[in-house]
Chains A and B, each alone.
Chain A
Amino acid sequence: MTDSPRIGAASGPARKQRLEFDMDLLVGYILLIGVLLSLALVLAALIWKWILTRTVDFDYQLSGMNFIQLLTSELRLAATGALRPRLLLTLGILMLMLTPFLRVLVSMAYFLVGLRNWKYTLFTAFVLVTLIYSLCLR
């Protein structure tokens, strides 16, 4: 347990405190909804596949495409109305990958607009740019 922590009522400007707490809630819900949505997409893909073919085994590959290429090609397919179980499964995987990315994006907006903390806006921007680079890898 703690040895000699400073314990007492929360201090600091009330507005900043409230903003931080709102931020925690927002970040928490982004993570929760992102993961649940992704799991729901994977589950829906499996159920749909089973209804169509009485099997839940998918035999396609995701080769040689990065996140952005995969997303655009799948969305293009979806736009043509070619909805298939495998489209939902791929979207589920992509949604999962998008979840931490969205969390970083919202954190940057928070440091920039909410706190006007340039230091952390810069740090978060670095993380964001590195992630964008990794999602666009070839």
Chain B
Amino acid sequence: MISFQLLFPISILAGFVGAMAGMGGGVVIIPVLTLLGVDIKHAIAISILSVIATSSGSASAYVRDHITNLKVGMFLEMFTIVGALAGAKITLAISPRPLYIVFGLVLLSSWLALLFTRHAMWHTGAQDSFTRWLELEGSYPDQALGETVYYKARNAYFGAPLMFGAGVIAGLLGIGAGAVKVLIHDLVMGLPPKVSTTTSNMIIGVTALAGASVYLVAGLIRPQLAAPVILGIALGAFLGTRLLVRMTNQAVRRFFLFILLILAVEMLIRGFRGAL
């Protein structure tokens, strides 16, 4: 059994690294917990609980700033929570090895997405009739521009099933899968970057709850691990986010992205070798 004195500082670090790299703490804490000898399914269960804390914590600020789009969030949550329930059930049923491999692959592709996506020029496009029927549009006060930005989403019929897939990943691996969700919002549904990040944050909390309930009933949530991990990740993410908004140096961010790359490769190797 890992002691609190070890797990608490590690969780603070995980939350901090996750936030600095632009992802959640889950992608860091799961590989670290498994390295410390925790079974991957227990690690996933604890991680998804901490995801509720970090996503809800940061979502609260964005919602109050009127950037989050409640309707987009509510519509897409219908798909992500069903996906998360399915994903968590799959995790309970399968052997650990494929989990390592899928985790490595998801982390690697999120890493590539974070590295290579230049913030493409966002522009309002033509809205299809289904998305218009769903009333997926809105406005938010952009503090950098000093103006209110109006936008209309599109392709909801395509975004919805993709979000189901993002929900499956979240439930399966116990992570927020924010990078996947933001990609769908940005590229498929044409939401402005700020709206897509903050709305994804809100969706992540509810999605994680659906997954966490499955793990709770399965008895995979160990209070011994939950206490230091939830507190540590929340604290680390809070510090990381505070520092990130002030940071202009890209080299520091690349360093944290590099840590994520190592974790992804390490998970893949363990999955393929079978030395768990």
Residues of chain A having any CB pair with chain B under 8 Å = 1-10, 21, 23-25, 27-32, 34-35, 38-39, 42-43, 45-46, 56-67, 70, 86, 89-90, 92-93, 96-97, 99-101, 103-104, 107, 111, 117, 119-120, 123-124, 126-127, 130-131, 134-135, 137-138
User: Total number of A-B contacts with CB less than 8 angstroms?
Assistant: 197
B60 touches A2 (CB 8 A): no
Q: Which of A89, A96, A104, A119 contacts B223 (CB 8 A)?
A: A89
27 contacts between A and B (CB under 8 A): A1-B145, A8-B147, A8-B148, A21-B66, A24-B70, A27-B60, A27-B63, A28-B59, A29-B64, A46-B227, A57-B4, A58-B223, A58-B224, A60-B223, A61-B223, A70-B216, A93-B221, A97-B52, A99-B205, A103-B206, A107-B74, A119-B135, A120-B71, A130-B210, A131-B213, A134-B214, A137-B213
Chain A residues near B56 (CB, 8 Å)?
A: 31-32, 34-35, 99-100, 103
**How far, in whole Å, are A39 and B139 apart by their CA atoms in the complex?**
33
Q: Is the interface of A mostly helix, strand, loop or mixed?
A: helix
Q: Which residues of B contact A138 (CB under 8 A)?
A: 217
CB distance from B88 to the nearest CB of A (A): 9
> Shortest CB–CB separation between residue B87 and chain A, in angstroms?
12
Shortest distance from the beta carbon of B56 to any chain A beta carbon, whole Å: 4
Give the residues from 218 to 235 in chain B that come closer than 8 angstroms, CB to CB, to chain A. 219, 221-224, 226-227, 230-231, 234
Which of A66, A119, A124 has a CB less than 8 Å from the CB of B216? A66
With contact pairs A31-B63, A130-B85 given, residues A3 and B223 touching in the complex (Cβ less than 8 Å): no
What are the 6 tightest A-B residue pairs by CB atom distance, in nearest-first order? A63-B219, A3-B123, A28-B64, A31-B60, A32-B60, A134-B213
